[in-house]
Structure 1
């Protein structure tokens, strides 16, 4: 095990565990330099866009930024446009509970750059734009140091680093494109996917750092070796941020298909407690759902849950799920872009109602607050300029569904979990 100190946005150090693929440099203490990197990973083999499409479909590569959208669909849309394309590597990671991209860039930055090089060559892109988190200067320095090490001569690809202004919504894809265009680093309404019309109106591949690292890994290992990890339905691994928004957080790499309970026990957490999966816009899992699930998007869909950006927030002893959720919603209400009514008015009102719910003194007051919360989540969903209100509403509705008995317990003066 090694440790990466992630500045600003984290409460202390985040431990990074060595992993089977993307984080294997950690276990061998290789360091982030290019020479050490090449001892573990070959120079990327050139591939055409058609070859990348075939390979990414074969391993079922999905985006690791949160949406889990099939990578090949975006690539196909950009490739078939026939127009000049753009490539943006999104390393912004604006959520405080996520540390996996920052850890990857601190320990294996060249794996991300290898993936970007592969994609840029296939799409005939000459400048790769990298969006780095401005509130984590150590990560920005690591990216720039890695770029300085990259040799020239193979193809004239320039890497340009842009730093976000920070905040939860600053890493959203449209917010990143706004920043690259010289405007405020805030999301805007967009009806057309970035792969069709993005930066400068051109087809733009906006790719998460981990996604590109997987692309480089399968290029080097081959699909068969890459698929030794994971399951037949979901080959490969996932980077996970576990309790990374507080002291004692860690980042690890796990194969698809492992038991969630075993994974949590390995990390020192009790699987018989609720788990917030997917981050601050995620979904609550009850204890019986945690113990009956695997690390699998296809498995977790049974409970309406997604791995998202790979954030796991286990409930610690003494934590109250209602109070914890309310604190997240209060934070999210402060992180709004202030560009639409649901964000400007709806989220603060929702936060206020959620903050009051744990302290309701009667069943009538509690029921009134629940009705108000349900009304507000309905009002903000699908009406925002971006997906921030939708994600916040998803979290709150998940709380109401998962912890309905706890709402009644609080009226009686106790919490089953605290």
Structure 2
């Protein structure tokens, strides 16, 4: 798997040495980075609080607060904690954690080992996506170094929800890598932790930042960034027609200069935060500060640091509809918003993009996504709703053009990154279909009927939790018009 090029603006901290080394083994790591201090429990907590270290996986939760909650559970139960490194990056538009684990694995392991030593951990578990470079790089790095406790690598399936914190904890416990149906905090142990132990779970970049802060100290660490969010952030800048770039920039840097340095134009709109992020109009995007607070003021989110632009020569609604269908199929299917809300919104958006929707379709989409934002069992419905609702707002002129039936006149070039088509699809042969409608009764989460009683879609992604109903629809179709197709 070819990894994106790594660059930096102003300060190379996480990316230090990557201009000279394809991968930093332990010897190269020691040449690039100074010796690592070993603060104790209180010192490490004080350091994390002094630099305002927050999670870099999307949620932005303060590291010190999470660590204190974990240690409170340790003191209460007498059980040693488990350190879990979340490098299971299921976001197609993001590659920053893959680059860290593949090219600078010891920087991530430095942070994990600091926490393990300071907090008396029982084990370190590094979660990576199956088939990613980290599957080879991380075990090799673990074998090179002294560790404060046993450590291992865990591979999880390449799915969008596999990187959700609860999904990764379940995978470590030997369960399917999907979000838990009932939320439970990992820090408290019990049902939410690894083997019911207090568990400190942090994103790969977060722990790499902890290692950088330990080496620099609070004052030097805060020499770049903003007063409230010191340090740097890692971005994945996706470039239309070219490979993405992983770029390290000081927090608070304006997005415009970053796009310019990467040779990217804002085009019709800029997505910040990936497919759980928000679209920004070009006028706002260029001056948008790359910090959690700065983007929140614009209605956006830094999320996983993925940045995607759409050029003016592709249909933005068609591009968004492709991703909406993929996100709907990537859900865990454990709650109403995922089972019904996201598929309904994805179908309606596809109809809008095709110029085959009634004016009421916008209300249908907003209603479905509004319910998704408030009632999901995990963050997937809420993040997907933000992605789709902001697209409707930013591309409002295109929405109007497609509602008129004429459309925007631009093709869908498939520029928003998605993984190769895999898994199972339910296909409807319209030459055979006679409109019995039985398929929609047997598989209501997959097949919806149009005004004349025929399925509205002919190729439908099937999530694992939907396969039983899909097979029923295939087996009982009187016209033999429905079939399943598998792609490895």
TM-score (norm 2): 0.78
Cα deviations by residue, 1:307-358 (Å, 9 ceiling, x for unpaired): 0110101112412221111111111011111222321222221110111112
The aligned residue for residue 391 of structure 1 is 383
Change (3 A) 1:260 1:39: same
State whether structure 2 residue 36 is matched by structure 1 residue 36. no
The aligned residue for residue 152 of structure 2 is 160
The aligned residue for residue 123 of structure 1 is 119
Q: In the TM superposition, what are the counterparts of 1:66-85 in structure 2 within 5 Å?
A: 66-81=58-73, 82=75, 83=77, 84=79, 85=81
The aligned residue for residue 10 of structure 1 is none
- Partners of 1:90 and 1:171 within 8 A in 2: yes
State whether structure 2 residue 248 is matched by structure 1 residue 258. no
| SS of alignment partner, residue 381 of structure 1 | helix
Give the gaps of 5 or more residues in structure 2.
412-488
C-alpha distance in 1, partners of 2:267/2:321? 22
The aligned residue for residue 114 of structure 1 is 110
Higher relative contact order (CA 8 A, sep 6+): 1
**Alignment RMSD:** 2.0
Change (3 A) 1:113 1:230: same
State whether structure 2 residue 364 is matched by structure 1 residue 369. no
Change (3 A) 1:346 1:271: closer
Larger of the two Rg values belongs to structure: 2
How far off its partner does 1:14 sit? 2.1
The aligned residue for residue 328 of structure 1 is 323
Change (3 A) 1:281 1:30: closer
State whether structure 2 residue 77 is matched by structure 1 residue 98. no
Q: In the TM superposition, what are the counterparts of 1:396-407 in structure 2 within 5 Å?
A: 396-407=388-399
State whether structure 2 residue 175 is matched by structure 1 residue 187. no
How far off its partner does 1:128 sit? 0.2
C-alpha distance in 2, partners of 1:105/1:25? 14
Cα deviations by residue, 1:379-406 (Å, 9 ceiling, x for unpaired): 3223222221111111111112222232
| SS of alignment partner, residue 303 of structure 1 | coil
The aligned residue for residue 9 of structure 1 is none
C-alpha distance in 2, partners of 1:55/1:260? 29
The aligned residue for residue 62 of structure 1 is 54
Task: Return the match for 2:162 from 159, 170, 186.
Answer: 170
How far off its partner does 1:366 sit? 4.5
- Of residues 189-198 and 229-238 in structure 1, the stretch that sits farther from structure 2 once superposed is 189-198
C-alpha distance in 1, partners of 2:226/2:328? 39
C-alpha distance in 1, partners of 2:269/2:286? 10
Task: Return the match for 2:344 from 320, 344, 349.
Answer: 349
| SS of alignment partner, residue 274 of structure 2 | coil
How far off its partner does 1:230 sit? 1.3
C-alpha distance in 1, partners of 2:299/2:67? 27
TM-score (norm 1): 0.91
Cα deviations by residue, 1:278-320 (Å, 9 ceiling, x for unpaired): 0011100001111221212211111211101101011124122
Task: Return the match for 1:275 from 270, 273, 276.
Answer: 270
C-alpha distance in 1, partners of 2:379/2:353? 27
C-alpha distance in 1, partners of 2:241/2:330? 19
Give the gaps of 5 or more residues in structure 1.
7-12
State whether structure 2 residue 145 is matched by structure 1 residue 150. yes
The aligned residue for residue 458 of structure 2 is none
The aligned residue for residue 295 of structure 1 is 290
Change (3 A) 1:165 1:287: same
The aligned residue for residue 5 of structure 2 is 15
C-alpha distance in 2, partners of 1:49/1:317? 52
C-alpha distance in 1, partners of 2:289/2:371? 34
- Partners of 2:240 and 2:310 within 8 A in 1: no
Task: Return the match for 1:45 from 37, 50, 66.
Answer: 37
- Partners of 1:99 and 1:244 within 8 A in 2: no
The aligned residue for residue 408 of structure 2 is 415
- Of residues 314-323 and 206-215 in structure 1, the stretch that sits farther from structure 2 once superposed is 314-323
Cα deviations by residue, 1:342-378 (Å, 9 ceiling, x for unpaired): 21222221110111112336xxx44211011011112
| SS of alignment partner, residue 375 of structure 2 | coil
- Of residues 203-212 and 393-402 in structure 1, the stretch that sits farther from structure 2 once superposed is 393-402
